[in-house]
Every structure is written in C-alpha cells, then in structure tokens.
A and B are shown apart, each in its own frame.
Chain A
Amino acid sequence: MTGPTGGAPPALDRELHHPTRLALAAYLSACGEAEFAVLRDYCQVSDSTLSKTLSALEKTGYVGIRKGHLGKRPRTWAALTLTGRRALARHLAALEEIAATARRAAGAGTGTEETPGG
C-alpha cells in the first residue's frame, strides 16, 4: 500500500491501530469527557481490559484520566487530550488515504478492462 505519490505508505498510528483503542479514541473525540462505565458499555469490554487500554493511552499522552466523585460514588472520567485529537485526525486521514488509493486503483483497473483496445 502506497501513498498518493506512490512512495511510503500513509503513517498509521501504532497506538490507535487496535480496534478497541480506535473506537475509544473516536468516542472520546466527539465528547468532552466520558465516564468509565459509559466507555466500557460502548466498547463492550471488561473493566480490566478498558482500564489497561486507558492506561496505555494515558501513558502516550493521548488520554487524560480524572478520578472524582458524583455524590458519594467514586467515578473515573476519561478525555482525549489535544495530542490525542491530533493523532486521531492523522490516523483517520491515513486510513482515508488507504481507502482512496484502493478506490483509485480499482477505478483504473475497471477502466482498463472496459477499453481493452485503448
């Protein structure tokens, strides 16, 4: 898979490559902050898996974790940082580039088949 210039492939972010991480980052990109339980229910993963995923993203600086209370109940909130938002935008742009390159290649292939003499 190559980029638009036919050189290096578009740079995908390793930290956002895994589907759960990508879903998590994309979910957080459309909201200010989200509670742990909401994220767990959306991603349909266990508490420990989500905790590990969030910790990994926090270590890279993509996600900020805040522990607080709502009434007497302890709550954990996660938010995508500015670095995380930029990384997600770059990752999604790279994915779009891959899909677009494939579309162009398929279009060119179809065009050649349609005009065998040309």
Chain B
Amino acid sequence: MTSTGDPMDARQARDALAAACAARTAARRASEANERSRPRRYVIGQGLTFAAGFTAFGLANLMPRYGTWLTLAGLACTVGFFTLVWIGAHHGGVTRWFSRDCGSRRRAWELWVAPLLSLAVSALAAIPYGETGWLIAFGLTTGAEHLLRAFRQQRVGTA
C-alpha cells in the first residue's frame, strides 16, 4: 500500500465514508434487484439439468451396460447446470457477494432448509435402494425444489 501524505480534515473523511457507504448500498440493492428480476428459465433449467444429471449417475449404477453413456450424460448435465448458474448469476450486470449482513433471517432459513430436506429424503431413499436410490432421490428432490422456487418466484412477481 502506498500511503498518501495529503492531510484530510474530518469533514472530507466523513464525506468519503458516506460516499463509500452509499456505493455499497447501491451495489447490494442492484444485485438483489437482479436476483428478483432474473428470468425464471434459468432456475427451471438448473432444476431440470440437476435432476437429469443425478438420475443419469444413479442409473449408471443400475444399468452397467449403458454405464459409460449414462455417466457422460450426467457429466454433460452437470456442466449445463453450472453454466446456467453462472449465466443466471451474471444476468443484469452485478453478481451477488457473500455477506454476513445481507438478507433477512427468513431467507437464510430457506437457504438451509431446502438442501437439508433434499439430503434427508435422499438418505431415506438410500436405506432400501443404496447409492442408486440416494443419487436419484437427491437429483429429483433438488430439481423439484428448483422448479417450485421458479414458480413461486413467478407468483410473487405477478402478485
């Protein structure tokens, strides 16, 4: 860091702090607004590719004859899923930053419960069906959660 030798009075310091605070608030608002206005096709696509990918991985265990093709299909779906996540995050020009002080309590609660429910359902499926059951159940429940979120987002948007 190169320090400036210029003196700064308290008023200038307060103005600079206020400007920095305003810039941070503006960036946070912009990223939240982008998240709300993001087309739901991204979330639907994410749900479908996630479900298809994990189902393909699960079926690869169940049908070893088509194992290679199903694994390749699963990998392609995984790449598609992450591509959609990337494109969706960059929609609107500002991506979100992980921050401890943003988002309401309810949102944080929702963020944790959805993946935990998927994990619980897939763990239950693993008891009778093993690894195959775990993979398919996890893919389908997470995919369904994405689809529900997309339709809820649309309902909130139109309300």
- Residues in chain A within 8 A of chain B (CB atoms): 1, 9, 11-15, 17, 19, 22-35, 37-38, 42, 70, 77, 87-88, 90, 92, 95-96, 98-99, 101-103
Contact = CB atoms under 8 A, between A and B. Distances in A.
B17 A95 contact: yes
Given A27-B26, A35-B94, A99-B10, A22 B20 contact: yes
Residue among A88, A99, A102 having the largest count of chain B Cβ atoms under 10 Å: A99
A102 B10 contact: yes
Interface of B: 1-4, 6-10, 13-14, 16-17, 19-21, 23-28, 30-31, 87, 89-90, 93-97, 99
Nearest to B87: A70
A14 B2 CA distance: 6
Contact of B31 (A9, A17, A31, A96): A31
Interface SS, B side = helix
A1 B7 CA distance: 7
Contacts of A33: 90, 94-95
Interface SS, A side = helix
Contacts of A70: 87, 90
B16 A103 contact: no
A26 B19 contact: yes
Contacts of B24: 26-27, 29-30
Given A13-B1, A33-B90, A26 B6 contact: no
B16 A95 contact: yes
B13 to A, nearest CB: 4
Contacts of B21: 26
5 contacts: A15-B1, A23-B20, A25-B20, A29-B27, A102-B10
Given A23-B19, A34-B95, A98-B10, 15 more contacts: A1-B8, A15-B2, A22-B19, A24-B23, A27-B27, A31-B27, A31-B30, A32-B89, A32-B97, A33-B90, A33-B94, A38-B93, A77-B90, A95-B20, A102-B9
